[in-house]
Structure 1
Amino acid sequence: MSASASDLSSASLEAIKRIQITTSPNAGEVDLSPLYDHGRDFASFDLVSIADILRNASVYPPHTIYRDVKVAATGFDPTQDLHDHPCFHFPFQSELATSRPPADAIDEHALLRTYHHLLCEAVARSTSSMRSPWLMQSGGKDSTSMAIALADVRPDTTCLTYLGGNEENEVASARFVAQQLGLRHEVLVCDPGRAYDRYLAVLPHIPLLTADFAALSYVDLATEVSLSHGDGLIDALGSDQYFGVPLHGHDRVLAWLARDLHVPQRVFQSHLVSRSFKLCFLLATLQMNKFERYFPGSRFSDVEVDTLFGWDISTCSRRRMETFRADIDAAASQEAVRRLSLVIGESSHLIKGMNAAHALSLHLAYPYADPKFRDWIFHHVPTERLISPDGVNKVLMRQYIAQRFEQLPYVKTKGCFRFNLRGLARQRFDQVYAFAEQMQILLPGVPHWLETYRDRLENKYFASKFYLLAMILPWLLSRMHTATASEHTAVEERVVL
C-alpha cells in the first residue's frame, strides 16, 4: 500500500462515527433521519455490501451500504453493539411456540372474531398519524385480509394495485375485493421508463441502497400516492415470519439442485442456453448454495461478481452467512430454514418501502408487524390454523377472508408488484451503460458485461441482472465524488484485510 493510500485509510477509519438504526417494523415507524446528512464519499461505502446486492439483491443485515451504519433488523437486539460481533436469533420458529392450543380446543368463531379485533386494532394504531392512507393492494391473501380490516377501521383508505407486466395479473381480484368492501380502488400500470425516471428523481433522498426486485415498483407507487395527495402507505408485508412458509415440490427441487458447482460463463453465452430462461435459471441454481437459493430472483454468480469488481470479493459476502449459522444449524425443518431466509431478506424487502416513504415524506405502516397481533397469532393460534398438515399456508387468514368472500378472490400466482424487467432493459440500456462507464473505478467489469449480454436482455434471467445494475450504479454515483486510484486501492486493501 502506498503512503498516501495508507494515510487515507487511517484517516477514514478515524473519521467513522458509528450509526445504528432500528429497522424492524415491530418497533413502530422507522426513523431514517440520522442518515439524511450522511457523508457522500467513496471511502464510506461498504464494498462487501455491494457484492451482497449483486449476489442476493439485498445486503446481509446488520450491514448496510455504509460501513459505519448498521441496522437492527428482525432477529437483532437493538441494544447490542451491531458493529462488533453482532448476534442473531430469530424467536418465531414454530418449535419455540410452546403455548399453542390443540385445534379441537378452540372455538373457530371466537378465533376469527379475535383475529378481526386484533387486526383492526393494529391497523388503527399504525395508521393513526395518516390523514389519507393508501393500501398497497396486490390482490393476494395478505392484502385482502388487510383490506377487510381497513374497511371497518379506515374506510377512507384508497387501494392501489400495480400491474407490472402481462405474466400475472391480479388487478381484477384486487378491484373486486375493494369494490365489495366499499373502498376506493386505483390501478397503476408499470411504465419502466417512468418508474426509473421517478427513481432517479428521488435518489438524493433515498437513505440506503437496496435492489429488491419490487423496489422500482414501490418508488413508482409511492410517487403516485404523493402526486395524488396521499400522506401514508399501508404495506401488507410481515406475516410470513410467524404464519410460516411451507415448502412445495419446486422449492425442494431447487434446494436439492443448489450444489455450489462452477458453470463456465461461456455456457450461458451459447445460443441454446442464452435464449432460455429456464435453462439459465437451472444452471444458475447449480452454482448457488442451498440457503441463498431461497432468496428470490436471478442474480450474479460469485465468479461474475468477482469479475465485475476485478478482484475476489464474493467470499467476503458469503462469509456474512456465518452470523446466522447457529440458527440455520438449529432449524428443526426445511420450512424453518426457509423462514430464516425470509427473515434475513426481510431487511431489504422492508427497506425498499422505508426508502420510498422517507424520500417522499410519507408515513409508512406495517400492521401485520404489530406486536400484539403477531404474538397472538404465534402463541395462541393452533399450528393447524397456520400451516395445515397437507402444506396449505395461512389457514386462519384464508378462513377469515372466506367469511366475506364465498369464492376466495385471489389467484394462485402472484405478480402485481413485480416489475417489467425486460422493458427496463429495452428503454434504459444506454443510460445504465453510461452510469457503468462512470463507475469503472469501483466496478471495472460492468461495461464489458453489459456489452456481452446486450442482445440477450429479452431473457428475464439476464434482464434481472441488468435491473440490479440499474438500481446500484446511479445510487452510488449520487453519493460519491470522483475517486482517485489511490482511494480505490486503500478501500480495496481494507476490505481484503
Structure 2
Amino acid sequence: MSIVTAPVQDADPRIKLRVSPYRNDADFAPLSGLGGGRPLDPVSIADVLRNAFVYPPHTIYRDVRVAVIGFDPERDLHAAPEYRFPFRSSPAPQRPTAQVADEDALLQTYHRLLCDAVTRSTAGMQVPWMLQSGGKDSSSLAIAVAEARPDTTCLTYLGGREEDEVESARAVARQLGLRHEALVCEPGRAYDRYLAMVPRLPLLSADFAMLSYADLVTEIARSGGDGVVDGLGSDIYFGTPVDARKSTLFRMARDLPVPAKLFEAGPVSRSFVACFVLATLGMDPFERYFPGSRFSDAEVDRLLGRPVAAQSRQRLRVFQEELANARTIEARKRVTLAIVEAGAGFPKGQYTTTALGLRQAYPFCDAQLAEWVYREVPDALLIDREGHNKPLVRKHIARRFGELPYVRAKGCFRFDLCGLAAERFEQVHAFAVEARDLVPGAARWLEDYRGRMGNKFFASKFYLLAVVLPWLLSRADAPAQRPDA
C-alpha cells in the first residue's frame, strides 16, 4: 500500500492513507508514534458519538484522510473530495438473464474465484484464523477456505442469548475438516483487551462490534494465530433487499425535535423499543440506515460543550449526489452499507489487527470476484423474486450441505451492552472525569442515566463513551485537543 502526502513546500503534515480492502491492504505505519502529535478533530468526535464512526474520507485527526471505496485516492481528499459508488444498482450493467445463464457454470466460477480470493488474501499468513458467524457469507467462505487454506482455524463468537450460530458454524467446520473454536462474550474481559490495545489503535471507530473484535483478535493472537479472515464485503455488489419492517423504520425518520424528557418517562425509559422509535423520529432519514442507538444532536452538543453536531451533519453533503442517483430503498441501502463498512465495518478489523501486529484478509473484497458478480451474475441470483438475498451463495452452500439451520438469519458479533455497563460503569465514569477537557458533558450524562443501563438503548450510548473516552485520553497531549479549539 502506498501513502500519499500532499505536494506542498517542505513538509506538509497532511496524510492520505489508501485503506480500502477492495483495492489493497491497509498500512497505518505513517501514524506510528504520532498518536500524541496530531491535532484531533472535534467534528469527527461528534461523528463517532452520533453514528459510531467518522464520516470518510475524514478521520479522528484533522490532517489525516482515508481513501476508502468511492473516493479516488489520486484526488485531494482534504480540499475537494468527491464520492462515486462503484456498485450502483441502477443504472447497473447489462447482466445475462437467468434463462440463458448456465447455473452450474456460474456456481463453478463463483467457487473458483472465491478460492482464488482466499489464496491471494491469505498469502502472507502462516497460521490463519477465520471469523465464522454461521451465516451465509461465512459458510460459503468456509467451503473455499477448506480447499484453499485447510490449515485455517474457525472461530465463532457467542455474544448473546438470542444467537444460535455456534451449532451451525461448528457443523460446517467439522464437515469441511476445519478446526473450530468458540469464544463466549465476557464484557469485562473484552473491555480489558480493548483498553490494552488502545495506545496502538491507529485511528478511532466505535463500531458496535469493536469490543467483540478486540476480544476475538486478542484470542487469536494468544493462540498463536498471525492472520484474521473475515467474510465482510459482499453486500454492496450482491445487493441488500430491505424488508417491510426496515422500510417502515426508515420512513419514520423525520428529523423532528424530540424532547429528552420523553425518554425519561417511566414506562418509556424502561422500553428499548419505545426509546428506539422516539429516537428514530428525531433522526436524519439517511442516518437511520446506520445500525444501533446513538446520541442525538442535542446530546452531542452537550457532551462536547459546544454546537458541533450540525457540522457533523454537513459531512453528508459529499454523498448527496450519489444518494440522489439511488432511486430505491435498496439502492440507498447499498450506498449506505458502503459508507458504514468503510467507516466502521472494516476499521474494527483493520485497527485491532494492526494494534496486535496481525494480518487481515477480506476475500469477498477481491476485485476479480466482486467485478464478476456485479457484471456477470443474473439479477435473479443476486436477489430473487421473494426478496431473498444472495441466491447464488445459498446454492453454493446447498451443493455441499443442503439447508443449514442458520442460513436464514443474519449473523454478527453481538455484544452484551447492558453487561458492560453493569461491570464497568465506574471505570468509564472515571475516564469521563479525566476527559472533561475533551468531552466536558460525558460525566454528567453518565450520572444522569446511571439507573437506566438495564435498557439497551441507554447501554448503547454508554458503549460509545466506553470506546471513545479511553482512546481520546491516550492522545490527550495532541494539539487543539479542546472541543472549542
Pairwise TM-score range, normalised by the shorter structure: over 0.9
2:316 partner SS: helix
Find the aligned partners of 1:189 and 1:211 in 2 and give their Cα distance.
21
1:141-160 → structure 2 map (5 Å cutoff) = 141-160=136-155
> How far apart, CA to CA, are the structure 2 residues paired with 1:289 and 1:97?
27
2:437 corresponds to which of 441, 444, 448: 441
Which of residues 399, 402, 407 is equivalent to 2:398? 402
> How far 1:210 moved relative to its partner?
0.4
Residues 70-118 of structure 1 deviation map (CA, whole Å, 9 limit, x = unaligned)? 0001100111110001000001012243231111111111110001011
Shift of 1:169: 2.5
CA drift of 1:233 comes to 0.3
Aligned equivalent of 2:126: 131
What SS class does the counterpart of residue 61 from structure 1 fall into?
coil
On the 8 A contact 2:364/2:370 being kept in 1, the answer is yes
Q: Secondary structure at the match of 2:22?
A: helix
Cα distance in 2 between the residues matched to 1:142 and 1:73 = 22
Q: 2:276 aligns with which of 261, 274, 281?
A: 281
Counterpart of 2:236, as a letter, is Q
The RMSD of aligned alpha carbons is 1.5
SS across alignment from 1:407: coil
The residue type paired with residue 193 of structure 1 is G
1:253 aligns to what SS in structure 2?
helix
Q: Does 1:300 align with 2:292?
A: no
Q: 1:152 and 1:126 mapped to 2: Cα distance?
A: 14
CA contact (8 A) 1:169 1:414 kept: no
Q: Do structure 1's residue 103 and structure 2's residue 98 form an aligned pair?
A: yes
Question: Is this contact kept in 1: 2:204–2:468, CA < 8 A?
Answer: yes
2:156 corresponds, among 158, 161, 164, to 161
2:334 partner SS: helix
Return 5+ residue gaps in structure 2 as ranges.
Answer: 1-9
Alignment match of 2:66 (pick from 63, 67, 71): 71
Give the residue type in structure 2 aligned to 1:350: F
* Residue of structure 1 equivalent to 2:168: 173
Give the Cα–Cα distance (whole angstroms) in 1 for the partners of residues 149 and 51 of structure 2.
37
The aligned counterpart of 1:454 is 450
Aligned to 2:19: 23
Letter in 2 for 1:400: H
Is 2:260 aligned against 1:265? Answer: yes
- The whole-number CA distance in structure 1 between the counterparts of 2:90 and 2:327 is 7
Pair 1:464 & 2:460 matched: yes
2:43 aligns to what?
48
CA distance, structure 2, for counterparts of residue 306 and residue 15 of structure 1:
35
The one-letter amino acid of 2:30's match is: P
Are residue 418 (structure 1) and residue 414 (structure 2) matched? yes
1:380 corresponds to which residue?
376
Shift of 1:370: 0.4
Distance in 2 separating the partners of 1:252 and 1:98: 26
Aligned pair in 2 of structure 1 residues 405, 39: CA closer, same or farther (>3 Å)?
A: closer
Q: Which residue of 2 aligns with 1:122?
A: 117
- CA–CA separation in structure 2 for the residues paired with 1:286 and 1:97: 33
Match 2:305 to one of 303, 306, 310 = 310
Secondary structure at the counterpart of residue 90 of structure 2: helix
Report the AA paired with residue 205 of structure 1.
Answer: R
Partners of 2:192 and 2:330 in 1: CA distance:
39
Q: Quick check: which one's helix share is greater?
A: 1
**Contact 1:164–1:415 (Cα < 8 Å) also in 2:** no
Name the residue aligned to 1:3: none
Provide, for residues 382-418 of structure 1, a one-character-per-residue CA deviation record: whole Å limited to 9, x for no partner: 0111011221101100111110111224254445511
Which residue type is aligned with residue 368 of structure 1? F
What's the secondary structure of 2:400's corresponding residue? Answer: coil
From 112, 118, 134, the equivalent of 2:107 is 112
Measure, in 2, the Cα distance between the counterparts of 1:319 and 1:140: 36
Aligned residue number for residue 179 of structure 2 = 184
Following the alignment from structure 1 to structure 2, what is the Cα–Cα distance between the partners of residues 322 and 20?
20
Partner SS, residue 436 of structure 2: coil
* 2:39/2:478 contact within 8 Å kept: no
Deviation at 1:120, TM superposition (A): 0.4
- Alignment coverage as a number of residue pairs: 475
Q: Tell me, in whole angstroms, the C-alpha distance in 2 between the residues paired with 1:415 and 1:370.
A: 22
2:4 aligned residue: none
Instruction: Report if aligned partners of 1:177, 1:409 keep a CA contact under 8 Å in 2.
Output: no
Matched position secondary structure for 2:156: strand
SS state of the match for residue 44, structure 1? Answer: coil
**1:237 aligned counterpart, secondary structure:** coil
Distance 1:272 1:228 in 2: 46
Q: Does residue 1:203 correspond to 2:198, yes or no?
A: yes
> Is 1:341 equivalent to 2:333 in the alignment?
no
- Tell me how far 1:276 sits from its aligned partner: 0.3
Q: What secondary structure is seen at the aligned counterpart in 1 of 2:401? A: coil
Judge conservation of contact 2:40–2:478 (CA < 8 Å) in 1.
Answer: no
Partner in structure 1 of residue 473 of structure 2: 477
C-alpha displacement of 1:344: 0.7
* Aligned partners of 1:232 and 1:362 also within 8 Å: yes
**Deviation of the 1:52 alpha carbon:** 0.5
Cα distance change, pair 118–411 in 1 and its aligned pair in 2 (3 A): closer
Cα–Cα, structure 1 residues 270 and 15, in superposed 2: closer, same or farther, change >3 Å?
A: farther
Distance in 2 (alpha carbons) for counterparts of 1:374 and 1:19: 29
CA distance in 1, matches of 2:481, 2:53: 23
Partner of 1:423, secondary structure, is: helix
Aligned to 1:8: none
**Aligned counterpart, 2:484:** 492
Task: Name the CA distance, whole Å, in 1 between partners of 2:258 and 2:78.
Answer: 36
| CA distance in structure 2 between the partners assigned to 1:179 and 1:136 by the alignment | 15
CA distance in 2, matches of 1:161, 1:39: 32
Q: Distance in 2 between matches of 1:33 and 1:420?
A: 33
Q: Which amino acid in structure 2 is aligned with residue 166 of structure 1?
A: R
Residue 355 of structure 1: aligned partner: 351
Tell me the secondary structure at the aligned position of residue 25 of structure 1: coil
